[in-house]
């Protein structure tokens, strides 16, 4: 027998009406946060970054592909990785379908990693993706934005964790990515936005950690299922061809 509250239709409607009030409040708060993101100060990008693409080297400006706005997902695929991070891979599945809509709003979106471009493109083919993916392995781009770390930085922030044993999720993702735990931790997931204005490029926004959940389309869907995300201590996310 279920241990959940089982009520009448009238009780459900009363509780649903109160939840709807809170959901509308949440929506209005989200609209306000979106406005405040757009109002952040722009920071001029002064360094000349270069990226490897399937069609040769490109500058950051050239990655805009003729549009004025550029969105970048910092995908965890470091030089020591043999495959992309499973969690980053799970969120990437939904991007292909939205690209035409982003392009219609003057937005280019692409993925960037430090692994060699040949390895990125081979993995993209395996996953069936077609979004632009570039390598920043020869530049400081990911380091400057705070999404890649040197071996020394990894030892500084992860030393105690590594000595006591890494969490199951970190250990599992490192193994699935074909690298060791210190190598896995040289990369972090992130999202950054840029704008080109009068020949100059500006950095306008970045986020990481749970700030990336807006790209993980399965989470808001699961949040509306009776059992919710139903996540335990063991990691459950896999690449879509590994379930």
pLDDT score, position 163: 79
Which pTM was predicted?
0.95
Distance CA 108, CA 123 (A): 21
CATH code: domain 43-222 is 3.40.30.10
Q: In what order do the strands lie in the sheet with 200-208?
A: 43-44, 200-208, 190-197, 69-74, 107-113, 133-135, 50-53, 56-59
**Domain assignments of the chain as residue spans, ordered by start:** 43-222
pLDDT score, position 98: 95
Are the C-beta atoms of residues 136 and 156 closer than 8 Å to each other? no
Q: How many CB atoms lie within 10 A of CB 183?
A: 17
Pairing of strands 107-113, 133-135: parallel
pLDDT score, position 128: 97
Pairing of strands 43-44, 200-208: antiparallel
Q: Which residues pair with 207 in a beta bridge?
A: 191
pLDDT in tens, the chain (243 residues): 678 899 999 999 999 999 999 999 999 999 999 999 999 999 999 999 999 999 999 999 999 999 999 999 999 999 999 999 999 999 999 898 899 999 999 999 999 999 999 999 999 999 999 999 999 999 999 999 999 999 999 999 988 877 777 788 899 999 999 999 999 999 999 999 999 999 999 999 999 999 999 999 999 999 999 999 999 878 899 999 999
Residues 6+ apart with CB under 8 A from 128: none
Measure Cα distances from 210 to 110, 125, 216, 236 in Å. Answer: 20, 28, 10, 17
Pairing of strands 200-208, 69-74: unpaired
Compute and round to an integer the Cα radius of gyration of the chain. Answer: 20
Give the rounded distance of the alpha carbon of 57 from its chain centre.
24
């Amino acid at each position: 027998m279920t241990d959940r509250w089982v009520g009448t239709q009238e009780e459900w409607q009363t509780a649903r009406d109160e939840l709807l009030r809170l959901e509308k409040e949440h929506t209005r708060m989200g609209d306000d946060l979106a406005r405040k993101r757009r109002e952040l100060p722009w920071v001029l990008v002064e360094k000349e970054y270069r990226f490897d693409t399937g069609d040769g080297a490109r500058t950051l400006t050239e990655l805009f592909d003729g549009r004025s706005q550029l969105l970048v997902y910092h995908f965890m695929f470091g030089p020591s990785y043999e495959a992309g991070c499973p969690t980053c891979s799970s969120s990437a599945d939904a991007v292909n379908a939205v690209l035409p809509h982003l392009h219609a709003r003057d937005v280019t979106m692409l993925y960037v990693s430090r692994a060699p471009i040949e390895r990125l493109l081979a993995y993209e083919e395996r996953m069936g993706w077609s979004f632009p993916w570039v390598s920043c392995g020869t530049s400081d781009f990911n380091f400057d934005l705070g999404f890649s770390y040197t071996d020394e930085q990894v030892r500084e922030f992860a030393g105690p964790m590594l000595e006591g044993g890494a969490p199951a999720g970190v250990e599992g993702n490192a193994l699935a990515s074909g690298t060791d735990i210190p190598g896995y931790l040289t990369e972090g997931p992130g999202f950054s936005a840029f704008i080109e204005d009068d020949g100059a490029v500006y950095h306008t926004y970045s986020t990481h950690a749970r700030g990336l959940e807006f790209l993980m389309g399965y989470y808001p869907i699961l949040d509306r299922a009776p059992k919710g995300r139903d996540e335990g201590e063991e990691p459950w996310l896999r690449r879509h061809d590994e379930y």
